[in-house]
Structure 1
Amino acid sequence: MKMRIILFVLAMLTCSFPSIANMTISGTRIIFPANENEVDVRTNNKGSQPALVQVWVDEDKLNSNLNNIKVPFILTPPIYRVEPGKGQSVRLIYNGMNLPQNRESVFWFNMLEIPPKVTEHVSQQRLDLAFRTRIKIFYRPSSISNSNSSMLKKNLKWQVVNTPKKGTGVKVTNPTPYYFSFDELTVESQGKKTELNVKMVSPFSSAIFYPIKKTISGEKITGIYYGLINDYGAVINSRLTLLPSGIYSEDAKK
């Protein structure tokens, strides 16, 4: 078994690898207002070679069968070629599928960059990789107003919890109809900071975040630092401090 691993590593070392992904998507997320029939998604080729691209929408399933996916959006064109230094706009069209009207719904825009065909002048030992890029699509019903992260984050409820298996964590409760995406989350206890795993918190739900590498030292978490991603992909940094009443309150100064 060890000999097979060594041979595989040696084979990889003799291969030449192409550069990083050349295709990019304008923006880090897509907001789809319910009062719009479609929105444009701009993709760009930053490389020096033409790129063949395939795009599709799924429900956060990495290995979905494209023939069986049922989503409320159609993409056109689904497959296209982009010349070096050029771009291509993709139309994201709502197909009328019923979605909740009292909260946001989230889907994923996928872009697969297919490597160019190897020519006779390129080494046959080259390993070509297909690059996949994914960003979130937030469908926003007309019944809820435009998101203002700076205001909405004040509605989040923060609580320190202890579980027998995972130890101390931070529970975030989201009473709003919006998704909250965190860029980072760190807690402070006895002057030491500990980074926690973060993920998206769904509307009208809660999530518990635990340390990434180690347990939280100290008996009390006196400060919580977090970065919240807004509609434009910008990170809004905030700090919460523990009040004598036991409630975590946002600092006036960041």
Structure 2
Amino acid sequence: MSNVLRYAMTGALAVVGFIAAQSSHASVVIGGTRVVYPSQEKEVTVKLTNQGTKPALVQVWLDNGDEKSTPDTAKVPFTITPPISRIDPTKGLAIRVLYTKEPLPTDKETLFWLNMLEVPPKPADSEGRNLLQFAFRTRIKVFFRPAGLQGDIATAPEKLSWKLVPADKGWALQVNNPTPYFISFAHVGIKTGDKIVGDEGGGMVAPGGNTTFPLKDVGSPASDAQAAFDVISDFGAISSMTHAVTR
């Protein structure tokens, strides 16, 4: 484990005991809410920007879905350059993500996660003082997209099928995805007339998979009920859609 990560974990543990007494926020932000890696590209770049007033040290790595991963334990077919960087206030940095060509499915997307750990520098006057250091970890999705996939990501949400299914506390919406693309949602609910109810947030459905979304405080849905959902595009834009449901 790198010294950066050891230092960050020490700070993160301190935060756990102090979170109720003080709030803070990360200074370095990632440009975009997701990364798409077309398989034919040699590399993609991701922009980091320090919006704070002090320098920040960041460490970046990818994982395949394990939230507890570290740069030492994550096993993915990518390398990142540079993996550790200092970013001065108001400055930016472009990191390079390179696919190392280990075999991945060619008929559907594969999901990875980009992790950014930000560690603030120690204050210059910290000698002999007890200080609380905060470490911030950000994770965003990375979609590895093979060339020549059937269909198009822009029209993939139209091909979803939706079904109302009984749930422990009422009803849920089950979505089936016949496309080779991951489809992300900002919101999922049920629409009857002009009213949308049951929305408990968003989620995602994998290629060829299905996901069930519980509907909050929904009684027996009307016969004209429709699935109402907000789809998140490659660029982070949100589009509202409706679709007929089966039972």
**1:39 and 2:41 correspond:** no
Say whether 1:201 aligns with 2:202.
no
- 1:138 counterpart residue number: 143
Work out the number of aligned pairs and report it: 230
Q: Which string of whole-angstrom CA distances, capped at 9 and with x for unpartnered residues, describes residues 74-114 of structure 1?
A: 00100011111111110100011110000000100111110
User: Residue 164 of structure 2 corresponds to which residue in structure 1?
Assistant: 160
SS in 1 for 2:198: strand
Amino acid of the structure 1 residue aligned with 2:88: E
Q: 2:182 pairs with 175, 179, 182, which one?
A: 179
Give CA-to-partner distance per residue, 1:25-69, whole Å, 9 cap, x none. Answer: 111111100111101111111111111110000012111143232
2:173 pairs with one of 170, 173, 178? 170
Report deviation, 1:239: 2.2
Report the CA distance between 1:120 and its aligned residue. 2.0
Q: Which residue of 2 aligns with 1:215?
A: 217
Distance 1:173 1:61 in 2: 24
The one-letter code of the counterpart of 1:205 is G
Quote the Cα distance in structure 2 between the aligned partners of 1:202 and 1:14: 36
Instruction: State which drifts further: 221-230 or 105-114.
Output: 221-230
Query: Would the alpha carbon gap of residues 160 and 146 (structure 1) be closer, same or farther in structure 2, given more than 3 Å must change?
Result: closer
- Indicate whether 1:236 and 2:236 are aligned: no
CA distance in 2, matches of 1:12, 1:133: 20
Map of 2:87 onto structure 1? 82
Identity of paired residues, percent?
Answer: 35
Distance of aligned partners of 1:147 and 1:241 in 2 relative to their CA distance in 1, 3 Å threshold: closer
| CA distance in structure 2 between the aligned counterparts of 1:192 and 1:38, rounded to whole angstroms | 42
Is the CA contact (8 Å cut-off) linking 2:153 and 2:181 kept in structure 1? no
Tell me what 1:94 maps to: 99
Aligned with residue 59 of structure 1, among 56, 64, 74: 64
- 1:201 and 1:192 map into 2 onto residues whose CA distance is 21
Cα distance, 1:13–1:57 mapped onto 2, change above 3 Å: closer
- Between structure 1 and structure 2, the one with the greater Rg is 1
Query: 1:5: which partner in 2?
Result: none
**How far apart are residue 224 of structure 1 and its match?**
2.3
Q: Say whether the 8 Å CA contact 1:14–1:125 is kept in structure 2.
A: no
Which range is displaced more, 233-242 or 46-55?
A: 233-242
Tell me the equivalent position of 1:115. Answer: 120
Distance 1:215 1:90, change over 3 A: same
Q: Which amino acid aligns with 1:40?
A: T
SS at match of 1:177: coil
**Unmatched 5+ stretches in structure 2:** 1-13
Matching residue of 1:226:
229
Contact 1:34 1:142 survives alignment (8 Å) = yes
1-structure distance, mates of 2:148, 2:114 = 24
Measure how far apart 1:180 and its partner are.
0.5
